[in-house]
Structure 1
Amino acid sequence: MPPKDLFSLHGRRALITGSSRGIGLALARGLGEYGAEIVLNGRNRDALAQAQSQLKEAGITSSLSSFDATDQTAVLSAVETIEQNDGPIDILINNAGIQRRAPLEDFSREDWDALMATNLNAVFFVGQAVARHMIRRKRGKIVNICSVQSELARPGIAPYTAAKGAVKNLTKGMATDWAKYGLQINGLAPGYFETDMNAALVKDKDFTEWLCRRTPAARWGKVEELIGAAVFLSSDASSFVNGHILMVDGGITACL
């Protein structure tokens, strides 16, 4: 394959969970710019419609699939509908995620269950449902959104760290079981990025100063800076990359 075609996603369909805003929407735009047809997912159909309008303005073809990624029955039904009505899902990006912050000794069972349902269970539910079709076709790309917290902890978010650490090893497990069928399953691990989920931290002067001192790049990341890594892991350029966690973190995990 000529090098110029290695990163092309033309003729491929990408389902991106949690893609009505933030990192998910940025990755939808990025993969779409490289030729992929996008399936936007989230629970709020109005928000998805707004995201679809943004993509349309950029010349990117997309469809909507509004389902709750934490509901396995809904996931199975939605994936079957996409496969039958839209066509094969060639790329899955498991992006849906939430955050809850509290001292660990005070962390509620309700918040723990919500974190695990969205940040871990959904990765398994959607990953398994999509992989069953990919396995029959002997090809497919799954990119699980991990985190710098897949490797490092920070006060107040121990359950999030636990979930993202589990996603890292689930990614390795998926690769171990499914690589033999022609699938590539990898993780994309953002560091600290300016997103809606991190809005309070971005506005916190003390935290931002700490982050800039702690990160070799000395700044917050921009969501657009995740696109290159996502395209690489979704394209033929990564045909022999499996079970890898690609850190996009400004160097924060590289130093003390």
Structure 2
Amino acid sequence: MSAHTVSQLFDLQGRNALVTGGSRGLGLQMAQALGEAGARVMINARKADELEQAVADLQQRGIDARWIAADCAVEDDLRRLADQTLERMGDIDILVNNAGAAWGAPAEDHPVDAWDKVMNLNVRGYFILSQQVARRSMIPRRSGRIINIASIAGLGGNPPEMQTLAYNTSKGAVINFTRALACEWGRHRINVNAICPGFFPSKMTRGTLDRLGADELASHAPLQRLGDDEDLKGVTVLFASDAGKHITGQWLAVDGGVSVITGG
């Protein structure tokens, strides 16, 4: 018989989590989930005022939360983020790479500097922070969970009107980054997995939502709905906890079934 109950397997008491892009939207939802499961949470974003408000909200829910402002597209900031998190919390058990950017433009007119901005934050930043955290905390202890936020946009193309070539490319890279890293770091008992959200209302998707409308977007999903402020909680805790200890190198779409239709 199992040595642990289901509730024990999902329990994150005594663990420390770092969530990038954690001041709002999907990042804040995941930080809340980890905190509700018992983890101490460090959230990161660029804007101190948004981080202060997010931490106040988390603390009102009884979550042990704190913040560090840093730009995850800047290598020195990423090193400082790792340094300060380790100094203030101790070892990092869970890393959620969520900070990201999108850019909409026709491929033939896509600015190269905008391409670089998306790729630097969405791919390079994930690599640098994962490397810093693993070298200094996870590999020495032979334990860790890394959760990379990809997207169903990384599974293929979008309708022509979406024009998000750099974003799709970056999220496809995140999926294979996850697979390759899981293969290399499995020997260190580090689990690396990815979540591929579908369409969730957020600041990043506001333009698409305004242009196409919530009902039109929801109509493309078998479940006939968009993601909400709870839909990433379960999978986040699964990948972060002992309940997912034998899962690595995988991606899971949380999209209401859209990727089933498109063949992702």
Normalising to structure 2: TM-score of the pair?
0.93
Which of 224, 240, 245 is the aligned partner of 1:239?
A: 245
Match of 1:108 in 2: 111
Change (3 A) 1:242 1:134: same
Checking the alignment, whether the CA contact within 8 Å between 1:69 and 1:125 is kept in structure 2 is no
Are 2:192 and 1:185 aligned? yes
5+ residue gaps, structure 2, are none
Deviations 1:121-150 (A, max 9, x none): 111011111111201000000000010111
Deviations 1:76-125 (A, max 9, x none): 23212221332111000000011110111110011111101111111101
SS in 2 for 1:200: helix
Are 2:170 and 1:170 aligned? no
Aligned equivalents of 2:31, 2:207: Cα separation in 1: 24
Checking the alignment, whether the CA contact within 8 Å between 1:69 and 1:75 is kept in structure 2 is yes
Which of 143, 147, 154 is the aligned partner of 1:150?
A: 154
Aligned equivalents of 1:77, 1:213: Cα separation in 2: 44
SS in 2 for 1:35: coil
Checking the alignment, whether the CA contact within 8 Å between 2:95 and 2:147 is kept in structure 1 is yes
SS in 1 for 2:68: strand
Checking the alignment, whether the CA contact within 8 Å between 1:40 and 1:65 is kept in structure 2 is yes
Aligned length: 255
SS in 2 for 1:241: coil
Aligned equivalents of 2:123, 2:234: Cα separation in 1: 24
Match of 2:59 in 1: 56
Checking the alignment, whether the CA contact within 8 Å between 1:70 and 1:125 is kept in structure 2 is no
Are 2:37 and 1:34 aligned? yes
Aligned equivalents of 2:85, 2:220: Cα separation in 1: 43
RMSD of the TM alignment (CA)?
1.3
SS in 1 for 2:54: helix
Match of 2:8 in 1: 5
Q: Percent identity?
A: 36
Which of 66, 69, 86 is the aligned partner of 2:69?
A: 66
Aligned equivalents of 1:223, 1:188: Cα separation in 2: 15
Which of 243, 247, 254 is the aligned partner of 1:248?
A: 254
Checking the alignment, whether the CA contact within 8 Å between 1:175 and 1:183 is kept in structure 2 is yes
Deviations 1:55-81 (A, max 9, x none): 111111111122221222222232122
